[in-house]
A = this chain, B = another copy of it.
Amino acid sequence: MTEKNIPDIVVSRLPVYLQTLQLLKKEGKTITSSQELGEKSGITAAQVRKDLSFFGEFGKQGSGYNIDFLTEKILAILKLDRVWDVALVGIGDLGHAIARYPGFAERGFNIRFIFDSDPKKIGIKVGNHEVQSMDNMVEVIRGAGIRVAMITVPSHAAQTVADLLIEAGVKAILNYAPVPLIVPDGVRVETVSPIIQMEHMTYYL
């Protein structure tokens, strides 16, 4: 299996297949087809087969995919067969909701540190974590070898925080601030943009 030169759009669909596989498993199924997997993922069966064929042979003609086997394979491809420690920066309402949300930990994203710049928030407990000052953030993150972070600070502070995270060695940033972040090659940003998603829908109303 080579993972070189896989189109990013294909990679972006793997987590969707994973979500659907986990849903099918919850429903008690053990085998699925490209038809079913596609239908429940909102993707055509042909696209499912083509996407998965980039990574190897995961099913047999006519007998479908074993759900556990395919789940394991996709987890390995996406490097989700391990736990990723995550730094969360910004502990407002959204930061609190994320810190308390079990969904990330269930998928292997372990919030290890929480940082904020507000002296009134430093030292407070959120879940199992004590909020730490951003003053030592770069050293703490670098020392722990953390490569994944979430930004939940106000827009005006997001780029500064991103720059510090990158200085600390972070390579993947989930950005909840509604601003585009500029990052160097080798660092990836995904922005969570519910407002942009809303504004996309109103066009059709």
Instruction: Report A's interface with B, CB cutoff 8 A.
Output: 11-12, 14-16, 18-20, 23, 40-42, 77-80, 84, 93-94, 96-97, 100-101, 103-104, 107, 109, 147-148, 171-172, 174, 176, 178-180, 188, 190, 192-205
Closest chain-B Cβ to A149's Cβ sits at a distance in Å of 11
As for how many copies of this chain the complex holds, the number is 2
Q: Which residue of B lies closest to A152 (CB)?
A: B97
- Complex contact A148–B100 (CB within 8 A): no
Instruction: Determine the distance from Cα of A101 to Cα of B174 in the docked complex, in whole angstroms.
Output: 19
**5 further interface pairs, Cβ-Cβ under 8 Å (given A15-B200, A190-B198, A192-B192):** A79-B203, A97-B97, A171-B205, A190-B197, A192-B197
Q: Which residues of B contact A201 (CB under 8 A)?
A: 148, 172, 174, 188, 190
Complex formed: what's the CA distance from A104 to B93 in Å? 14
B19/A178 in contact, CB under 8 A: yes
B16–A196 contact, CB under 8 A? yes
Which residues from B are CB-within-8-Å of A12?
200
Q: Tell which of B94, B104, B172, B194 touches A205, judged by Cβ atoms closer than 8 Å.
A: B172
A100 engages B109 (CB within 8 Å) = no
- Could you name 5 residue pairs across A and B whose Cβ atoms are closer than 8 Å? A15-B196, A16-B196, A18-B199, A104-B195, A190-B198
